Structure 1
C-alpha cells in the first residue's frame, strides 16, 4: 500500500503555468480563474483582446498571475505567433486547457455547407493546431498535461448537429492518439467532456422553450453548474491525476444514461 501523501500538494498548481484558449468568455474564462486561484500562472488566449484584458485585471485583483495572448485558432500563423508570446512570458508550459470551440446552428447534414467547414476548422483543426504547439514544448521539457475540451456529443449522436458531433467525436479520438504518442515524453493528454452547461455560445438555445423542454427530458433535468467541473478539471491538470491518461471524462449528471 502506498504511504500517505500530501493531498494538498497533489492538487496544488503553485509553480505551474497554464494556457487556456477560448478564454474571453464562458467556461474558458471560468477555467482560467479557477486555475489561477489554485496557484497557477495563467495565460489566457482568444481573439477578443479587450475581454482578455478585463479577465487578466480580475485575476490580478485577486492576487493571481495572468497574461493575455491574442490567438485565432483558425490561423496557423496566429497560433504560432501566440505561442512565441507564451515563450516570452513563461519558461515552460505545464498545462494546456484546449477550450476554444463553437456550437453550431441546428440543421440537416445535407443542408450544411460553409458552416460545416467552419465548425470542423475551429473545433477540430483549431484544437489540433494549439495542441501541436503545446506538445512540442512539453515533450521537449519531458513534462506537461493537455486537456482537450470535448462534449457529451463526443460519445453520442445529436439530431441536426452532425458538424458539431463529428468535430467533438474526432477531438476525443485525437486525444487518445496524442496520449499514445506523448506518454513516454512525460506528457498526459485527456478530454474533459461536459454535458449541458450554459455558455455564451449556447445559452440562447438552451434557455428557449424548446431548449427547456429538452433539458427537462434528460435524467438530471437541469443544466450543470460551472463549479461542478472544478474537481474533474483538477484531476486532469494536477499531480493527483498523474496516472490518468488518454481518457474522455464525461461530466453530464448522467445524461448519457438516458434509455432508448
Structure 2
C-alpha cells in the first residue's frame, strides 16, 4: 500500500456520519466543513432553522453532503428528537461534535442567576444531554468518537468570564469521565480547546486594538488563530488516526498556555 493511500484511509471519514451542534456559524461551521471535506456526511445542528439552511446551502454548494437538524441542546426532548431523526433519516451517528456554547460577561460579584443558569445549561448540560442521546447507539455498535469543544479558558482565567471558564473547566473533567465510562465500548471521547480565533463572536475583540496588541504579544505565535487551523485537530480526533487517543484535551492556542 502506498503511503498516500494509507494516510488517506487513516484520516479519511468516508462512510461516516457526523453530527455537530452549534454549527450554523463560527467554529461549528468550520468543523462541519472540515469533517465533510474528509468525506463524512454531516448533520449541522442549531436552534434557528433559517441560519442552518443558509449554512447548509453554503456547504452543499461546495459539494458536501449536509443535512440540517433544529436542536436546542438545553432541552432534553428537543435533543432526543433531533438525534433520533438524524439517525433514522441519514445514518447512525459515528462522530459527535459538541460545539454549542454561549458567553456571558460580567464581574463575578454581579453575575445574575439567570445568566449563570443559561450559560451552564448550554455549555455543560448540553454536552451531557447530547452525548447521552448519541452514545447509546455508539455503545450498541461498539464504536464512535465524541469531540467536546472546550476552550483555553479551561486552564486560564480572565476577569468577567469566570462562569464561562468554570463551564469549560468542567468539560475537561466530563471528557475524562466519559472516556473512563465509555472507552470499554469502543467509544473515544476527547476535547478540542481553542485559543483566541477570529470568529464572528470575537469580531469586537479583533477590532479592539488594545486587546489585539495584548493578545498577540501574549501569544508565542504573535497572532490570532484562523478557524481553518482547527480543521486538522477535528479530523484527527474523529478519524482512525486517533484510534487509541481517549480522554484528552487538545489545546490549539498558538502556545498561549505554554508561557507566562
Query: TM-score, with normalisation over the residues of structure 2?
Result: 0.94
State which drifts further: 19-28 or 204-213.
Answer: 204-213
Contact 2:38 2:235 in 1 (8 A): no
Instruction: Give me the whole-angstrom Cα distance separating, in 1, the residues matched to 2:19 and 2:37.
Output: 14
Q: 1:144 aligned to 2:144?
A: yes
Instruction: Give me the whole-angstrom Cα distance separating, in 2, the residues matched to 1:123 and 1:221.
Output: 29
Residues 76-102 of structure 1 show CA distances to partners (whole Å, capped at 9, x for unaligned) of 111111112112223311000110001
Q: What is the SS of the residue equivalent to 2:182? A: helix
Q: What is the SS of the residue equivalent to 1:67? A: strand
Aligned position for 1:199: 199
Aligned position for 1:241: 242
Matches within 5 A, 1:6-85: 6-85=6-85
Instruction: Give me the whole-angstrom Cα distance separating, in 2, the residues matched to 1:21 and 1:109.
Output: 28
Q: What is the SS of the residue equivalent to 2:53? A: helix
CA apart distance, 1:28:
0.5
Deviation >6 Å, runs of 4+: none
Instruction: Give me the whole-angstrom Cα distance separating, in 1, the residues matched to 2:101 and 2:210.
Output: 23
Instruction: Give me the whole-angstrom Cα distance separating, in 1, the residues matched to 2:104 and 2:203.
Output: 12
Matches within 5 A, 1:66-215: 66-105=66-105, 107-113=106-112, 114-215=114-215
State which drifts further: 14-23 or 57-66.
Answer: 57-66
Instruction: Give me the whole-angstrom Cα distance separating, in 2, the residues matched to 1:55 and 1:249.
Output: 26
Aligned position for 1:253: 254
Residues 129-186 of structure 1 show CA distances to partners (whole Å, capped at 9, x for unaligned) of 1111111121111110000000011112222211100000001110000000000101
Contact 1:42 1:65 in 2 (8 A): yes
Residues 221-252 of structure 1 show CA distances to partners (whole Å, capped at 9, x for unaligned) of 31101221121111100001111110000010
Q: Could you list the runs of 5+ residues in structure 1 that have no partner in the other structure?
A: none
CA apart distance, 1:64:
1.9
Instruction: Give me the whole-angstrom Cα distance separating, in 2, the residues matched to 1:176 and 1:170.
Output: 10
Instruction: Give me the whole-angstrom Cα distance separating, in 2, the residues matched to 1:33 and 1:89.
Output: 21
Contact 1:92 1:141 in 2 (8 A): no
Residues 166-223 of structure 1 show CA distances to partners (whole Å, capped at 9, x for unaligned) of 0000011100000000001010000000000122223223422342233133123311
Contact 1:98 1:130 in 2 (8 A): yes
Q: Could you list the runs of 5+ residues in structure 2 that have no partner in the other structure?
A: none
Q: What is the SS of the residue equivalent to 1:6? A: helix
